[in-house]
Amino acid sequence: MLTDSPPRRASRAGFLESDRITTLDHPQDERLLSITKSIGSAIEAGTSGELRRACEQFLGAASKFYQVPGCEIRVLAARPLRVREHWTTELFGDYTPATMLIRVWMRTAVRKEVTSFGTFLSTLCHEFCHHLDFQKFGFHNSWHTRGFYQRAAALYHHARNTPPKRLFWVPVPGGRWRIDWPRTNRGG
Ligand SMILES: [Zn+2]
């Protein structure tokens, strides 16, 4: 994972704020966890209708918790040729702010491999965090900052019931950061 380059001038304040917000609260009960289990079994069964319904439930429950308008979800069999999310090299999903539509797909474009449960859920949480950037935090853009990735990770680990992970970063040229995975996995 790699952050975006900081923008110049006008949008810089929003970018820096996004970078600073490294926590995201989550429900204190199991409402998301139980839906996540249905997402897992739908992926295992390979049924896209069931998967879409489970994703709808997940996003509905999450939107209600964060008090943001609901977003639409489309589950595609394979990655579309045109990918709308301009900000990133994500392989498994995109989000369009104007229509509040999340798209996720079950297979990679080239090798047609089925997305794993972990990758799928991580993508869903990532795209939902773009939705939160616009609807909850009121940012005019949704950047991939260190804070953004940390918020998406917080949601993911809650939804999967795995221990939260603090992300460690190393600077790369252009004011960007990439995750230091060995250190992150060691926990510091
Ligand atoms: Zn993204």
Q: Quote the pLDDT of residue 35.
A: 97
Distance 156 CA to ligand 1 centre (A): 14
Task: Say how many Å lie between the CA of residue 93 and the centre of ligand 1.
Answer: 8
| Number of domains, the chain | 1
Q: How far apart are CA 106 and CA 87, in angstroms?
A: 21
Largest CA distance in the chain: 49
From residue 132, give the alpha-carbon distance in Å to each of 36, 51, 68, 108, 139. 19, 22, 7, 26, 9
Ligand 1 centroid from CA 53, angstroms = 22
Q: Does the residue 159 lie in any domain? A: yes
Residue 34 in any domain: the answer is yes
How many angstroms separate the Cα of 4 from the Cα of each of 16, 89, 105, 171, 186? 12, 11, 23, 12, 25
Whether the full predicted model's pTM is greater than 0.75, yes or no, is yes
Residue 104 sits in which domain range? 12-19+30-186
Give average pLDDT by consecutive 10-residue segment, the chain, 188 residues. Answer: 84 93 95 96 89 97 98 87 55 89 81 81 96 95 95 97 93 94 91
User: 188 alpha carbon to ligand 1 midpoint, in Å?
Assistant: 25
CA of 28 to the centre of ligand 1 (A): 26
Contact 175, 163 (CB under 8 A): no
Q: Within a domain: residue 7?
A: no
**Is residue 3, in this structure, part of any structural domain at all?**
no
Residue 61's φ and ψ, nearest 5 degrees, are -65, -40
